[in-house]
Structure 1
Amino acid sequence: MTEVVAIDVGGTHARFARARRQDDGTIALDDPVTLHTADHASFETAWEDFRARCGGSVPRAVAVAVAGPVTGEVIRFTNNPWILRPAQLPAALNVDRLVIVNDFEAVAHAVAIAPAGQFAHLAGPEQPLGRPGTISVLGPGTGLGVAHLWRGQDGSYRVQATEGGHIDFAPLDPIEDALLARLRRRHTRVSVERVVSGPAIVDIHQALAAMEGRPFSDEDDVAIWSRGLAQTDILAAAAVDRFCLSLGSVAGDIALAQGGFAGVVIAGGLGLRLRDVLPRSGFASRFAAKGRFEHLMRSIPVKLITHPQPGLLGAAAAFFSQQDSE
């Protein structure tokens, strides 16, 4: 098969696109169709919506990247209520071949095959990601996705999905101590996803407001991100800067845990929105601030993947990689 429907399902959006492997081995994506998960009762009804938009004609192969662990007979998403039953899906979708991977496993596949021109430099030495070894991949969105890939001397690679977004949050200063205390009042255990994800900006903003003795409203994360990135609200801007610090800390921890010394890649739509902010923030200093390992951390190139749909590209790449290995 040389054509597949690539699907990337997150907490908020489900993206669909036809993907083709071309004669030179590269993967071409059609323009994606983006649906809100809240607008559909199930993955199957969203699929029917996509197929109708395509006039009822779609490839009979599907690659799905899902935001959650891909294990067992039932797959539950971390941040949306849909449920997948892989054994039943081929018949439900009327397809001949189905591949399901974790969403950041897919992004890691995209990192492995994307050309150097689709990466922006964030920190560390300004060099490409081509050297052998492990590359850590993470990205904040509705949650925090984490994976890694290993590249051999011959250019071959392997990808490993993880649930690294659910490791414990470790505060490093009094502001983060206050944020942790605030989050502990609602959650028995505070993971890094509670601090380094799109919705987390609300708690960061409210924690800063409480420290300042300022009132705060029940604004959603979209409003705070918009004001903070536009620099039209000094407290929202401070929340964005604090987010960048925490993202740097977490990215460094992930690299140490995974041995991601060949590189670290930040991915996702929120990462793209922070493209110009991260290099000017404290992200790089927090990434490297690992005590006795600071010299090692400063030797790691940290990049942002700028491909507009790495989840879709990676889902297709995972499909063709699995097909080739059989």
Structure 2
Amino acid sequence: MREPLSIDSFPWLVADIGGTNARFGLVQEPGGPVAHVETLKGSDHPSPQAAALAYLDTVTARTGERPRPRQAALALACAIQGDTARMTNSAWVVSRETLIRTLGVEQVLLLNDFEALALALPQLSAADVTLFGGPARPDAAAPMAVVGPGTGLGVSTCVPVGQGRWVALAAEGGHVTVAAADEVEAEVLRLLRREFAHVSAERVLSGLGLPLLHRALCTVRGTPPETLSPEQISHRALVEREAAALATLDVFCSMLGTFAGNVALTVGARGGVFIAGGIAQKIADHLVGSRFRERFEAKGRFESYQAGIATGLVTAPHVALTGAAQGIAHALRQSDPGGG
């Protein structure tokens, strides 16, 4: 059983920082939701600490009282090693020591963004997830995985360790070598391997990869290849019902199902595999009606194993902020096992 957290440790400042935007929020009491969520454009601020101070100024102007966070956690779209992180797609350098000094907090936790998403999985309610593809239901007592096709392809796993605690495994699973499951996919990958020495899952299952997938698939289908943005491909498929774009989304969803099934087998994600990220939400209806689940289960002798694993689309907003808050809670309980 988890011990309650002391009210003296609140409020908590949580953030989800990507290459373009930084989202901030506050948790003001034990078990409380993430409140006062604001999105700031990263380029408008010289540093993460400047953005955090601007956020606190905004909350102050709205409420008439300046928040004084005691704890902070930042979910970052980059790899983290030690006390400093360099953002992959922005000039920001995130320093734990600088944030502690500037914000006056007691501690700062730096998390990979998908590590934070994984920590949020046990907290998701039925209203936060659209389950699809079978009768299986999530099980927060078993390992769960999150797969996120966005600008790149994120992957992480959340493992229960007892007493209501979870450990999130930060990894780079999106960079594994992608596999083909039929002749069309094999031909697509053959074409891409002419251009790239290594064709990773992220190379096709992401916003960066969708145009490459579309171009290669047009060549396979014998139609003139075009260079389109992910938004153009989605519009042509979902609004104009254009054949090549629809075929691209079909292959995308099928390959995503194969990949998600591989993740489930690799980490033993019997608690469920959840799809997050902007692309998945934009093509939600197409994804749910696609061959994703068929491919997820198509693992030969382990088909029945896969059939027992729930798959769902995360629809709740600001999930990484919830995960960042869980990171703080776990860190506080670990530093004070007696329940302080």
TM-score by length of 2: 0.85
1:33/1:302 CA distance change after superposition, 3 Å: same
Alignment deviations for residues 184-229 of structure 1 (CA, whole Å, 9 cap, x no partner):
3443222211111123211111112222343344332222223323
How far apart, in 2, do the equivalents of 1:115 and 1:93 lie?
A: 32
1:147/1:13 CA distance change after superposition, 3 Å: same
248-257 vs 151-160, which moves further: 151-160
Tell me, yes or no, if structure 1 residue 96 matches structure 2 residue 113: no
Alignment match, 1:323: 332
Equivalent in 155, 166, 176 of residue 167 of structure 1: 176
1:11-26 matches, within 5 Å, as 11-22=19-30, 25=31
Deviation at 1:261, TM superposition (A): 1.9
Alignment match, 1:28: 33
Name the SS for the 1:199 alignment partner.
coil
Matched letter for residue 35 of structure 2: D
Alignment deviations for residues 124-156 of structure 1 (CA, whole Å, 9 cap, x no partner):
3242424x3211221111111111112367644
Name the SS for the 1:32 alignment partner.
strand
Equivalent in 125, 133, 155 of residue 123 of structure 1: 133
> Is the 1:11–1:143 contact (alpha carbons within 8 Å) kept by the matching residues of 2?
no
Alignment match, 1:265: 274
How far apart, in 2, do the equivalents of 1:247 and 1:98 lie?
A: 35
How far apart, in 2, do the equivalents of 1:31 and 1:227 lie?
A: 37
1:204/1:80 CA distance change after superposition, 3 Å: farther
> Is the 2:36–2:59 contact (alpha carbons within 8 Å) kept by the matching residues of 1?
no
> Is the 1:13–1:36 contact (alpha carbons within 8 Å) kept by the matching residues of 2?
yes
Alignment match, 2:6: none
How far apart, in 1, do the equivalents of 2:68 and 2:276 lie?
A: 28
Matched letter for residue 136 of structure 1: A
> Is the 1:201–1:225 contact (alpha carbons within 8 Å) kept by the matching residues of 2?
no
Alignment match, 1:76: 86
Q: Identity over aligned residues, as a percent?
A: 34
Indicate the RMSD between aligned Cα atoms, in angstroms: 2.5
TM-score by length of 1: 0.88
Alignment match, 2:48: 43
Alignment deviations for residues 283-307 of structure 1 (CA, whole Å, 9 cap, x no partner):
0011111122112111211122221
Matched letter for residue 108 of structure 2: L
Deviation at 1:118, TM superposition (A): 2.1
1:190/1:15 CA distance change after superposition, 3 Å: same
Matched letter for residue 33 of structure 1: E
Which blocks of at least 5 consecutive residues in structure 1 are unaligned? none
Alignment match, 1:210: 219
1:253-292 matches, within 5 Å, as 253-292=262-301
